[in-house]
Amino acid sequence: MTLSLAEVEHIATLARLELSPEEKELFRAQLSSILDYAARLRELDTSQVSPTFSVLPPRSVLRQDVPHPGLSLADLLHNAPQAEDRQFRIPPVFE
């Protein structure tokens, strides 16, 4: 199963990645081989198996609704490349 160039470009857009023409070809080949590998699952007959959404035992794990203070502002913004007015400053999202 080989992905089309357009499919690779679409995935790159969703991932907000800008790829060079060489990279597009490289990832097209790599992604295609990953899909081929995963496609081996299709060889199994799962018609009698109900969908598995989780491998954890079917038991709810819930937390009491009790608030605790979070991080200090200094800690929260510690690794932010840029901060302003108590907030993360980031490149504009509306061009």
Partner 1 sequence: MQFKPVIGLEVHAELATQSKMFCACPVVDSTQAEPNSAVCPVCAGMPGTLPVLNRRAVEYGLRVALALECEVAPMSIFARKNYFYPDLPKGYQISQYEQPLARNGRLIIQTSQGERTIRIRRVHLEEDTGKLTHCQVNGESYSLVDLNRAGIPLLEIVSEPDLHTAEEVRLYAMALRSLLRYLGVNSGDMQKGVMRVEPNISVRLSDSPTLGVRTEIKNLNSFRALERAVAYEIQRQSEILSRGEEVIQETRGWDEAQGKTFVQRTKEEAEDYRYFPEPDLPPLIVDEKLIAEIRASLPELPAAKLQRFQLQYGLNAYSAGVLTAEPAVAEFFEQTARACQAASAKMAANWISGELFGLLNQAGLEIEASPVSPTALAELIDMVARGEINQNAAKTTLVEMFVGGETAQTIVVARGLRQISDADQIAQWVQRVLNENPEQVAAYYKGKATLAKWLFGQVMRLAKGRANPQTIQEELEKQLNARQPPDAP
| Residues in touch with partner 1 (CB under 8 A) | 14-16, 53-54, 56-71, 73, 76-77, 84-95
CB of 17 to partner 1, least distance (A): 10
The residue among 43 and 84 lying less far from partner 1, judged by its C-beta, is 84
Q: How far is the CB of 30 from partner 1 (least distance, A)?
A: 18
Identify whether the C-beta of residue 32 lies closer than 8 Å to the C-beta of residue 1.
Answer: yes
Number of neighbours of residue 28 by Cβ within 10 angstroms:
19
Radius of gyration of the chain (CA): 22
Indicate the angle between helix axes 5-14 and 21-38, nearest 10 degrees: 90
Query: In terms of CB distance, is 22 or 56 closer to partner 1?
Result: 56
* Sign of the torsion angle spanned by Cα atoms 32, 37, 43, 46: negative
Nearer to partner 1, 22 or 61 (CB): 61
Give the residue with the Cβ less far from partner 1, 39 or 88: 88
Q: Is 8 helix (H, G, I), strand (E, B) or coil?
A: helix
CB of 52 to partner 1, least distance (A): 9
